Amino acid sequence: MRPTYQDRFSELEPLLSRVEKPSRYIDHEWGTLASPEAEHRVCLIYPDVYEVGLPNQGIAILYNILNQQEGESCERSYVPWVDMADAMREAGVPLLSLEGAAPVASFDVVGFHVPHEMAATNYLEALDLAGIPLFASERGEDDPIVIAGGPSVYNPEPICAFFDAILIGEGEESIVEVCLEQRRMRDAGATRAETLRALAKIPGTYVPSLYEVSHAEPCTPHGYTVPRAGEDVPSVIYKRVVPDFEATDPLSQSIVPFAQLVHDRLSIEILRGCARGCRFCQAGITYRPVRERSADQVVSAVTRGLARTGYDEVSLTSLSTTDHSCCSQILSRLNRRLDDTGISVSIPSQRLDSFGVDMALEVAGEKKGGLTFAPEAGSQRLRDIINKNVTEDDLERAARAAFEAGWRRMKLYFMMGLPGETDEDIVAIAELAERVVEIAHEIVPKGQRGGISVSVSVSVFIPKAQTPFQWCGQLDDDEVKRRQKLLVSSVKSRQVRVHYHDADTSLIEAVLSRGGRDLTPVIVGAWKRGARFDAWTEQFDLARWEDAACEAGIDLRAVAQEPFELDQHLPWEHVSPGVTPGFLKREWRRALMGKTTDDCTRTSCTGCGICPTLGVENVLAGERA
C-alpha cells in the first residue's frame, strides 16, 4: 500500500542534533513553492547531499515550472548524508520530501536528476531509504512512477532498470507533459503498464521496460537496445529541445538556502549549447544547438533575481559564457549597476585567449585569486586531435595578459589518456606549465615573484557516448599511473604543482559510461556492499565494485578499455541528441588525421545533423568575435 502523504518531521527531528549540518534536512528556506494540498504531487531528487543538489539549475527550472501548473505540486528531496541515512534506517524513518516532510513513496511521481555516472549507487540508496522497490520491474500499482532525466542520460543502459521512464534532453516541456499524462492516466484508473505505454508516446520519453537487448552481430559485448517485439515505441528516442530559449524564464532559482554551498549565488543561464566541437566533450554535442539570451534579458533577470533572493554574487552560467556574442556588453552593464553594493559577478570559466582574460578582468575587481584555463592537452598535435582550437600563441597571449593584469596564480586543466597520446605529449604538459612560469617571471616585478604559482590539474580521459571518441577505450589504469609519474618527474619548477585524478574512480566512470544493461548487477552489488556517494573520493572504494563485478562475471577493465569497432551497434544508439552517426565517424577520422573542425557559430554549418534532425537552429544575440 502506498504510504499516506503526511508531515512526519517529528520523526526526523530527534535525529537532527546527532548529525552534521542539520540544516540539510529542515526545509523552510526562503522561496520554496510547493502546495501540499495539490491534486498531483511530484518529488524531484538530486542524487547527492543537499548542498551539492540545491544549486542545480536543472532542478530549479523544473521545480519552478511544475509548481506553476494548475493542480500540481513539486517538492524536493536529496540523499541524506551517511550519518543521517544510518540514523534514519535505525529509527525506521523513510526518506522524506523537504517541503511537506512527507514520505517520498507517497508521491505520484518521483524524479531523479542524472548529473553524472558516479551517482549510480545513490539512486539505489535513495529508493531503498524511500521504501520503493529498486527495480522498475518489481514495482506495483501503488508505487510511484519513478522517472529520471539530466545531462548524463545519453547512455542510460547501466541504470535504466531503476527507472520507469527516462526523459531524454531538455526537461522544461517534457516533464510537464509526462506529469500531466501520468495524472490523466491515474485519474482514469489505468494500470501501471498502461500508464508506461502512454508515457512512451510522449516525444523524448524512454520507457526501458518496453525495450530489450539484442545481441545480433555486429555489436559490442553489451548488445544494443531495440523495441520489444509487439511494442509500438520508437526505435530511436531523440532528445527534447526548447527551440525558443529566450521565451523561457531566465530566473529559474527561487529558493535561497541557509546552508553555505560551494556555489552559493544567483545563477543566470545566459546561453545554452557550445559548438566549439571538442571531440572528447559530451555536453558539446548533447546541448546543441547554441541559443543565446539577449543582453537586455540577462541584465533584467540579474536585477530581478538579486532583489528577490538577496544574494551577494551572481554567476552567468553556460558551457562557455565568454563565447556569448554580447558578453562584454553584459558584464560592463552589470558592473555599472552593481557598483558600491558589495555584489559581485562571476563567470564559470575563461576562454583561452586574451579576450578571456579581458572578461575575467571585468569581473575580478580588486580580488584576483586564481585564473583557470583548460588547454586540455600539452602539445599542438594532440590539441588538434581533440579539436581544442587553441594555439600556442593564444596560450602565451592569455598568460601574458593575465600576469600583466595582476594575477599571480593560474590553474591549467589537462586530460591524460587521450587517443593518440604519447610520452612526448605528457612531457609537453610540463613544458607548457613551465613556459607559463617563465612568462610570469618576465612580467611580474622581482619582489612579487614568490607569489607566482601554476597549478596543473590532470583528469583521466573517459570516452563518452555520442562523441567522436565514443569508440575509444580508456587507457589502462596501470599505464595512467605510469604517465602520471612521468608528468610529475618532468616538472622541474617548484612553482608548478601537479594534481591528478584518482585512476580508480575514473575506471568506474568509464565502465558506467561505456557499458550496457549487463552492468546493472554490478551497480546493485556495489551498493549492497556499501557503495554510496561514490562521487566523494573519501567514500569511494574500488574493492566494492571489483567484488560486485567478480560476482556478476564482469571484467571491469575489459568494459572500460576495449575499443569498439566503427561498424558495431553501440549500447546507447537508441537514444540520440540528434547528431548523425556519420558526423561522429567523420570527426573520428579527422581526429586521426589531426584535422580540426570549425565552430559553426563562427563559420558555417559543419554538418553535425542536430539542427535538421530536431528542427532547430543556432540563435545568437549578436555577432560572435
Please report, as ranges, the residues that interact with other proteins according to CB under 8 A.
Answer: 9, 13-14, 16-18, 21-23, 26-30, 256, 258-260, 264, 306-312, 340-342, 366-367
CB of 88 to other proteins, least distance (A): 16
CB of 19 to other proteins, least distance (A): 9
CB of 261 to other proteins, least distance (A): 10
Q: Identify the DSSP state of 142.
A: T
CA distances from 331 to 130, 298, 308, 362 (A): 45, 10, 20, 7
Distance (Å, whole) CA 127 – CA 524: 12
**27 or 108: CB nearest other proteins:** 27
**50 or 588: CB nearest other proteins:** 50
CB of 606 to other proteins, least distance (A): 44
**23 or 349: CB nearest other proteins:** 23
CB of 14 to other proteins, least distance (A): 8
CB of 101 to other proteins, least distance (A): 10
CB of 264 to other proteins, least distance (A): 8
CB of 306 to other proteins, least distance (A): 7
Distance (Å, whole) CA 622 – CA 326: 7
CB of 257 to other proteins, least distance (A): 9
| Residue 231, SS3 per DSSP | coil
**342 or 445: CB nearest other proteins:** 342
CB of 99 to other proteins, least distance (A): 12
- Classify residue 538 as exposed, middle or buried by CB count within 10 Å of its CB (0-12, 13-18, 19+): exposed
- Bridge-based pairing of strands 291-292 and 370-376 is unpaired
**51 or 477: CB nearest other proteins:** 51
Distance (Å, whole) CA 69 – CA 283: 29
**365 or 612: CB nearest other proteins:** 365
Distance (Å, whole) CA 126 – CA 516: 22
| Residue 553, SS3 per DSSP | coil
**28 or 494: CB nearest other proteins:** 28
Amino acid at 431: E
Q: Identify the DSSP state of 310.
A: -
- Per-residue 3-state assignment (H helix, E strand, C coil) for 427-456: HHHHHHHHHHHHHHHHHCCHHHHHHCEEEE
**266 or 426: CB nearest other proteins:** 266
**12 or 134: CB nearest other proteins:** 12
Q: What are the backbone angles phi and psi of residue 430, rounded to the nearest 5°?
A: -60, -40
Distance (Å, whole) CA 3 – CA 88: 17
Q: What are the backbone angles phi and psi of residue 62, rounded to the nearest 5°?
A: -70, -35
CB of 366 to other proteins, least distance (A): 5
**336 or 367: CB nearest other proteins:** 367
Distance (Å, whole) CA 95 – CA 102: 8
Distance (Å, whole) CA 473 – CA 434: 31
How many Cα atoms are found within 13 Å in the side-chain-facing hemisphere of 4? 3
CA angle (224, 226, 229) in 5-degree steps = 140
Distance (Å, whole) CA 605 – CA 602: 9
**225 or 344: CB nearest other proteins:** 344
CA distances from 163 to 97, 148, 236, 302 (A): 19, 7, 18, 36
CB of 16 to other proteins, least distance (A): 5
**266 or 579: CB nearest other proteins:** 266
How many Cα atoms are found within 13 Å in the side-chain-facing hemisphere of 69? 23
C-alpha cell at 100: 511537506
Q: What are the backbone angles phi and psi of residue 72, rounded to the nearest 5°?
A: -105, 145
Distance (Å, whole) CA 511 – CA 474: 9
